[in-house]
Every structure is written in C-alpha cells, then in structure tokens.
Structure 1
C-alpha cells in the first residue's frame, strides 16, 4: 500500500515503523494487470464481509448483553488504509457487506459509527467515484457499505460487486 502511495509522488512523508503490517480484506482484492507491464496494477474491487453481534444468541442463553462494534473497528482500520492507498484515484472501489443483530434498525449506535466511517454518506448504496471535489486531490471518498440484520446471499453480493468491478474497469480502460 505504501509503495502504491509513493508511486503517485503526491505524498512525501511516511512512518515506516510499521511497514510489515498488512491489510487482508475478508473478500479479497481484484486487480487489473497488463501482461506486458509487470508494474501496472490497478484495484478494481476490494471486498469485506463483517458479521457483527451475538447479543441475540446471548439473550436466548440468558447471558448479559456485550458491547457492540468490534467488527466495525477492524473495518475502520482497513478502510483508512484503503482510502489512503487510493487517494490519487477518482474511484474507491470498496464494498463491505455486514450482517448481524448489531445492524438491526433498533441498534442505532453501530449504524452511526458506520455513517461516520463513510464520511456521512448514505449506507446501503453503491458509491464508486469520489464526490464533491473542489481541487485535484480534495475529494470525499464514500464507499459502498451494505448492512442489515440478515445474512447476505452470495448472489446479492455478487451483483453489487460485479457493478463496482465493471465500473472500475471502464474507468481505467476509457
């Protein structure tokens, strides 16, 4: 990620004390590569899947309620790095699918955390392009974050991921 940022020559300062740390999104990363250029590597799609909450199960077992938000904290860390890595691009092809009792409409605190992570843009909406720019590098970077109580089906996630990847591919090709 740091090498990707360095290659843009936009940013000069880097704390290299944690250079060995990695981000491994749950759903993986899809890259666009060129056969004749080993250095050409563009992100088409980054995906995360987060299950958040066990308080529904704990209640059935007669246990006390736990704090909410651990998966969201990990998502926030990854998202910060991903946004930094893609700061120079006009797209941020990232999507997260989350499910669990902490995303029930009655659990506003977790949804509020997600809203802040998404720079106060809407949840459950696809965003690919950066928004509301007023200079070459001053964009907001809303991302696609889909959260609900019920588990996501593969075909539902696939359609959203396909739209993001295809749009990203068109961005780089045209």
Structure 2
C-alpha cells in the first residue's frame, strides 16, 4: 500500500501526519516526513498541534535547568578544546620555524654552503680594515680643526 505523503503545495497530508503520530510509517517514509517537518515550520506547527493535552508527558522538576546546564557545559568544553588545539598548533608551528632557522644558521656559519658549491673547503678571509684607519685619521684631523676654530673665536671675543 502506497500512501501519499505530500499534497500539491508540498506539505504533509493529514494521513501522513496521523501515521507518523501513530508510528505506522516505514523507515523510508519516516525519514522523509521527519526531514520535511524539520525544514517546514507550517507542517511542524500542525504536527505539534495534533497532540491532545492528555497525550503530552509532564517533564520532571529541574529538567529544563539540567538540560540548559549540560548544553552550556558542552559549549564551554568545545571552546576550551578548540582553544587548546589552536594553542598546540601554534606551538608546533613555532617549533618548526625555530628548527628551520637553526638549520639555516648552522649551514651558513659552518661553511658547509661553500663546500657544497665548490666541492672543497674554503675559509672565510679576514676583512680588510685599512679603510677604517684612514676614516679615523680624517675624523681626528677634522675634529682638531674644529677645536682650533673654536679657540680662535674665543680669543677674538676676549679681545
């Protein structure tokens, strides 16, 4: 027996709602009707309104508060877990960067890069610092000239 679940407008038929309420739908039709009720507020309202006051079960005392606290705990646990996971990911990322930087520094300063390129050991030549001495002597000469000019200005002011 094939039943008509939906009418022309796409809503559940009265027969389908009655069968759903009495638990007479097969598994496939049950899934279809429940998915529709989930998405359609009109059918959900009609289905909820089809129950009489006597058919409804009283909720135990404190049920609402218990349910709310459990929901809040789950939300807080998810936030804590996601924060913890992101902290672990960040620490792992920092570790990878530190290892990569350390390896790069070791390669650069151990002269392995030249060995790889040239195939032989080469040593770093010391810097030629003779230009520093010439700059230093020129700065000394310049500062002595400025001092002499200041002394001359002071002598002229005194006279």
TM-score when normalising by structure 1: 0.15
More RCO (CA 8 Å, sep 6+): 1
TM-score when normalising by structure 2: 0.16
Specify the structure having the higher radius of gyration (Cα).
2
Say which structure is richer in helix: 2
Say which structure is richer in strand: 1
